[in-house]
């Protein structure tokens, strides 16, 4: 798996991460108020050891609607206990079935209401995380967590995005996309993998140069902090020193950049720095309980890696068989993309 440099020196601390789904909890909050009426049924569910697309497909079957009638705001980790919203386009007189049901263990309905519009990707204000780290070893954990809370961390896309051979599969598709017919859903996932890789390459070089968290000449700022490109069509908005770093980081990947542009993806920007909201911690024996919030699209693993060497067991290195990719089950197996 591809890795990128850490912003802070290794702490010498280690812990076991995600030993059970209950060790990693996430609660989603939306960036708008749900009205309570409308043609879209909104369901707030708790899922355990289930991928977001698995739940979406299940809801489509339960309500006997096409998959496009089901919406969600973001992917949540599969090996976790996650609470998130789904919407289903249904008639006003249809009520949700009770959960859990025998064919979908691990799914529980927490709340049902209605809204006028379908839930769309990206409509997340914050994801609130509760993480239990086990078998902790080392010293100075409180100082390190205080450092991360104060300075923020590189806003890398996390290892979930590149798990197994996802990056290699995405590259292979891009090179032969005219010969390989796959669903629009999987095309979108492949593009997101490739754009995430290029973004991390730029941020990684800024980390190596020691200016990932402070503007240099020509930076495009988001909330006062530097940003990096999510690659696609259009010229980079950066200039001067910031543009030189981008060009240097992307020079080995010119063919990949060109292919993404030709595939019709529009260039965007993403913040290089992310701050955890209300980062709190408590230690008991060899366990550390953390709670914090992150904005939509940011990864808890990118925060945790700056504090600890994490043993993630089989969930970090499991490979994805090519047949499953072609069948469109990429996220069904891995959950958070």
Q: DSSP string covering 253-316, please?
A: GHHHHHHHHHTTPBPEEEESEE--EEEEEEEETTEEEEEEEEETT--HHHHHTTT-EEE-GGGT
Residue 165 designated active-site:
no
| The domain made up of 21-128+277-311 is a member of CATH 3.30.2350.20 | yes
The predicted pLDDT at position 104 comes to: 86
Query: What are the residue ranges of CATH 3.30.2350.20 in the chain?
Result: 21-128+277-311
260: Cα separation from own chain's centroid:
20
One digit per residue, the tens of pLDDT, for the chain of length 337 reads 678 999 999 999 999 999 999 999 999 999 999 999 999 999 999 999 999 999 999 999 999 999 999 999 999 999 999 999 999 999 877 777 766 677 788 999 999 999 999 999 999 999 999 999 999 999 999 999 999 999 999 999 998 888 767 888 888 887 776 666 777 778 888 888 999 999 999 999 999 999 999 999 999 999 999 999 999 999 999 999 999 999 999 999 999 999 888 878 899 999 999 999 999 999 999 999 999 999 999 999 999 999 999 987 545 433 333 333 333 333 333 344 3
Please tell me the pTM assigned to this model: 0.87
The predicted pLDDT at position 315 comes to: 52
Would you tell me which CATH number, out of the four given (2.60.40.730, 3.30.2340.10, 3.20.190.10, 3.40.50.2300), belongs to the domain 153-274?
Answer: 3.30.2340.10
* Rounded Cα distance, 21 and 153, in Å: 25
Query: Three-state SS for 123?
Result: coil
The predicted pLDDT at position 313 comes to: 54
Q: Token digits for 151? A: 């300075």
The DSSP secondary-structure symbol of 30 reads E
Task: Determine which one of 27, 77, 146, 165 is catalytic.
Answer: 77
Share above pLDDT 90 across residues of the chain, in percent, rounded to a whole number: 72
Query: What are the residue ranges of CATH 3.30.2340.10 in the chain?
Result: 153-274
């Amino acid at each position: 798996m591809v890795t990128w440099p850490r912003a802070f020196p290794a702490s010498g601390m280690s812990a076991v991460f995600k030993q059970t789904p209950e060790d990693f909890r996430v609660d989603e909050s939306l960036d708008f108020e749900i009205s309570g009426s409308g043609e879209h049924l909104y369901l707030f569910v708790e899922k355990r050891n289930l991928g977001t697309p698995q739940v979406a497909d299940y809801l489509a079957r339960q309500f006997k609607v096409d998959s496009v009638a089901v919406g969600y705001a973001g992917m949540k980790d599969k090996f976790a206990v996650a609470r998130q919203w789904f919407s289903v386009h249904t008639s006003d007189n249809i009520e949700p079935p009770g959960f859990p049901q025998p064919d979908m263990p691990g799914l529980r309905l927490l709340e049902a209401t209605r809204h006028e519009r379908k839930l769309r990707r990206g409509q997340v204000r914050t994801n609130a995380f509760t993480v239990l780290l086990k078998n902790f070893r080392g010293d100075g954990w409180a100082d390190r967590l205080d450092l991360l809370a104060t300075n923020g961390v590189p806003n890398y896309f996390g290892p979930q995005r590149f798990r197994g051979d996802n990056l290699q599969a995405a590259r292979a598709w891009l090179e032969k996309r005219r010969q390989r017919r796959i669903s629009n859903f999987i095309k979108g996932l492949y593009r997101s993998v490739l754009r995430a890789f290029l973004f991390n390459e730029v941020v990684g070089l800024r980390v190596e140069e020691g200016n990932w968290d402070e503007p240099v000449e020509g930076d495009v700022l988001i909330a006062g902090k530097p940003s990096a490109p999510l690659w696609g069509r259009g010229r980079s908005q950066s200039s001067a020193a910031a543009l030189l770093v981008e060009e240097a980081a992307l020079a080995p990947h010119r063919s990949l950049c060109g292919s993404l542009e030709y595939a019709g993806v529009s260039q965007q920007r993403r913040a290089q720095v992310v701050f955890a909201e209300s980062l709190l911690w408590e230690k008991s024996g060899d366990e550390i309980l953390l709670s914090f919030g992150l904005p939509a699209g940011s990864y808890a693993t990118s925060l945790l890696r700056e504090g600890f060497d994490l043993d993630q067991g089989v969930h970090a290195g499991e490979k994805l068989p090519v047949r499953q990719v072609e069948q469109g089950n990429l996220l069904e197996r891995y959950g958070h993309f």
